[in-house]
Structure 1
Amino acid sequence: MTDHAGTAATTLGISTAGLDLEASVALAAEADAAGVHAIWTSELYSMSATVSLAAMATGTRRCRLGSSILYGVGRTPLVLAAEARSLDKLSGGRLVLGLGNGTVRMLRDWHGTDPSAPAARMEELVTVVRKLWRIHEGRVHHDGHFYHVDITPTGDVRPPLRECIPVYLAGVNPRMIEVAGRVADGLVGHPLFTLRYLDEVVRPAITKGAGRMGRRAENIRITTMVIAAVDEDEEQARRDAASQIAFYASVKTYDRALAVAGFAAEARAIREAFARGDLEAMTAAVPDRMIDAIAVAGTPRQVRDALRRYEGTVDHVILYAPTLGLAAPRADRNVRRLVAIATAPRDGAR
């Protein structure tokens, strides 16, 4: 990646979201051998990102390994910093630590955490993790609003493999995106992001956050997840993409991103269908223009062509294969097609 979008070709990575641990490890090894720039894993209530990253680190040699995302909430800063140190060592310095909170409901009902002030909590968490990264230098003391840490290390604490760890934050609404500008090295954009949202909301928020801390906004790398559905049957690929878009659009948290892109009415129709339990109607409520603005879908050539819109606009694109409603063999074929797409020559790109 480069210091800011536009100075070099946008790189491509692949998400393992939706795959089980065995499949994720196999995909990472295949992608690494093919020369994919980065592999990204995620976590939910049934999958640990740190375990996945450790397993993928042992089967890869060159690609960056990132979390998109790993829950910051639910882990103490000490545990998070220790896990990151170990993962970076295991991978030979290839870790990108992507952190996020999830939605308010996830904070409250999944993690049993007070969902108030999530952006302020995340800003403090990153600050403490960076202090703990350097615990080999001596006592770490922090007495903040959300976290209290007072540790004086004993014995021989070796320094980490790298002086600092790249930390990316997941953000959708401006306040959290500002936090990325204030304290992080990059942003992990949501799969519902459009180029319009990136221009009108994301970049101004990063600039605002960076400016308040005396940082340069162009040094905050913009990474975004893009739903990528590949099939020789173009219409099948577009239906797969529409289903994944509808899944995310059913969550009210993402209303702003959809409204800015001009899809407020579609979001309402999707949520109404979701309330009825009508999954087919949810997918049908996603029009072609919404697919084309949010996802890349179609034959391999069509997907490669569609990805050109991100060149020079973001630093890194994470290709995210749909899994909702797809039988395992078809989902597996789709994500493996992304390996070829991510390594195909692109107008002088890598």
Structure 2
Amino acid sequence: MKIDANLGSDLAGAPAAAEKLEREGYGGVWVAEAGSDPFLLSLQAISATGSVTVGTSVAIAFARTPMTLATVGFDLARHSRGRFVLGLGSQVKAHIERRYSMPWSRPAARMRELVLAMRAIWACWQDGDKLDFRGDFYTHTLMTPFFAQQPHEYGPPPVYLAGVGERMTEVAGEVADGFFVHPFTTDRYVREVTLPALERGRAKAGEEGFDGYTVCGSAMVVTGHTEEETAKAARGIKRQIAFYGSTPAYRPVLDLHGLGDLQPELTALSKEGRWREMTDLITDDILDEFAVTGTPDEIGPALQAKIGDIYDRVTLYTPYRIDPASFFPDGRGASR
């Protein structure tokens, strides 16, 4: 299991930050679409590093077309010499329609078709296939030599999808090369719900098991160098659990643990802006279901013991201030 890190959204500081994360031994660097453009951040990170995986986690798929995503993905795969991963997520209806002014309908079916359309475009550029993709949401039938990308030795990037619901997870298993598990999850939910959904999708594609497929996790971590720091970290993670738990779409995770009634209570408090009271509802037992707690040098072994058989890669989810190098006190790094 490789340990990855999130880069952040500071475009100017991205090269130095990415280089530092690579030097500290992280296996991958992920950028989110939050503030700065994720593909510009990825370009900065790629240019400053030489070995780590760099990818979007995630870029908003429905804010773009298959052609625009195919173009930037193909460019970054070439520039990175095969180190780039095109990670995509759907976002939610309100953001797609009201923030991006783009169409929204049948998100799982739309995502499936978007990935297949990208693959058709890449096959045109890389293999010389005629571009003739006709779907319910996207149509791509025109590609002239002037606008065509030239094939390159690294080929198209792998595509990872993010999902929460079982239907989107099945789509990811069917058409993607990897899957991002949402941070608001537990190892039990992944074993009993997420992995079976991925397997159903893999079966639709004629695949068995997860050979050649990458499952990425985002592990909530409670740690610090002192008791005070650890207590603040625990409070920060509880606050994040409460925030996610207030979203109705995430209730199935709580239901599995007999905590479903907590969701409407959190939702009601969130609408009133009572964030402190929301956090107080997250007990230590709930924290233990969602997070791993320990000193920085204990976190790696603890993650390996709890979820090492689930994930191929995991990103440490730490919504509080801590030096990323703290997790590798022996200097070996996670990618070795």
Normalised to the residue count of structure 1, the TM-score between the two structures is 0.86
Distance of 1:21 and 1:247 partners within structure 2: 27
Cα deviation, residue 345, structure 1: 6.9
Structure 1 contact 135–153 (Cα < 8 Å) conserved: no
CA-to-partner distance for each residue in 1:38-70, whole Å, 9 max, x for gaps? 0111103x2211111011111111100011111
Note if contact 1:181-1:206 (Cα within 8 Å) is conserved in structure 2.
yes
Are residues 1:198 and 2:190 paired?
yes
Listed as ranges, the gaps of 5+ residues in structure 2 are: none
- Say if 1:340 and 1:275 are closer, same or farther in 2 by CA, change over 3 A: same
Question: Does the Cα contact within 8 Å between 2:24 and 2:325 map onto a contact in 1?
Answer: no
Change in CA separation of 1:67 and 1:262 when aligned onto 2, cut-off 3 Å: farther
Match of 1:166 in 2: 158
Residues 229 and 318 (structure 1 numbering): CA distance in 2 closer, same or farther, change over 3 Å? Answer: same
CA distance in 2, matches of 1:121, 1:71: 13
- Separation in 2 of the partners of 1:25 and 1:241? 28
Amino acid at match of 2:307: Y
2:133 is equivalent to residue 142 of structure 1: yes
1:16 is aligned to 2:7: yes
Whether the aligned pair in 1 keeps the contact of 2:24 and 2:333 (CA below 8 Å) is: no
* Partner residue in 2 for 1:319: 316
**RMSD of the TM alignment (CA)?**
2.2
User: Structure 1: how far apart are the matches of 2:221 and 2:74?
Assistant: 32
Is the 1:138–1:152 Cα contact (8 Å) retained in structure 2?
A: no
What are the within-5 Å matches in structure 2 for residues 226-265 of structure 1? 226-232=219-225, 233-265=229-261
The gaps in structure 1 that reach 5 residues or longer are 1-9, 324-330
Match of 2:287 in 1: 291
For the residue of structure 1 that corresponds to 2:12, the secondary structure is: helix
1:76-129 residue CA offsets vs partner (Å, 9 max, x unmatched): 111101101111122221011111111232223222334321000000000011
Counterpart of 1:303 (choices 288, 299, 303) is: 299
TM-score normalised to the size of structure 2? Answer: 0.90
For 1:188, the equivalent position in structure 2 comes to 180
Q: Residues 71 and 31 from structure 1, CA distance in 2 versus in 1: closer, same or farther, beyond 3 angstroms?
A: same
| Cα distance in structure 2, aligned partners of 1:341 and 1:254 | 35
Task: Please identify, of 245-254 and 177-186, the stretch whose mean Cα deviation from structure 2 is larger.
Answer: 245-254
Query: Paired residue for 2:18?
Result: 28
Q: Distance in 1 between matches of 2:108 and 2:196?
A: 17
- Say whether residues 1:221 and 2:214 are aligned partners: yes
SS at match of 1:227: strand
Q: Deviations over 1:136-193 (max 9, x none)?
A: 2143111110001112331584203423421110011100000011111111010011
Conserved 8 A contact 1:169-1:180: yes
Q: Within 2, Cα distance between the matches of 1:260 and 1:104?
A: 26
- SS of aligned partner of 1:92: coil
Q: Structure 2: how far apart are the matches of 1:86 and 1:336?
A: 30
Distance 1:343 1:246 in 2: 35
Aligned CA distance change for structure 1 residues 277 and 27 (closer, same or farther; 3 Å): same
* Structure 1 residue 305, shift from structure 2 partner: 4.2
Of 183-192 and 337-346, more deviation after overlay is shown by 337-346
**Residue deviations 1:245-283, cap 9 Å, x none?**
222222222112232243323333322221221111121
Deviation larger for 253-262 or 84-93: 253-262
Query: Deviation digits for residues 213-233 of structure 1, max 9, x if unmatched?
Result: 212231332111122343223
**Aligned partners of 1:62 and 1:261: how far apart in 2?**
40
Please tell me the residue identity of whatever aligns with 2:230: E
SS of the equivalent of 2:133 reads strand
Give the residue type in structure 1 aligned to 2:221. Answer: A
- Whether the 8 Å CA contact 1:319–1:338 is kept in 2: the answer is no
Asked whether 1:340 is paired with 2:333, we answer no
Q: In 1, are the aligned partners of 2:222 and 2:237 still within 8 Å (CA)?
A: yes
Tell me which of the two structures has the higher relative contact order, counting C-alpha pairs closer than 8 angstroms and 6 or more residues apart.
1
Tell me how far apart the structure 1 counterparts of residues 243 and 331 of structure 2 sit (CA, whole Å): 29
Question: Quick one: which of 33, 51, 72 aligns to 1:43?
Answer: 33
Q: Quickly say closer, same or farther: Cα 1:335–1:246, change in 2 above 3 A.
A: farther
Distance 1:169 1:157, change over 3 A: closer
Whichever residue aligns with residue 107 of structure 1, its letter is: I
Deviation at 1:27, TM superposition (A): 2.5
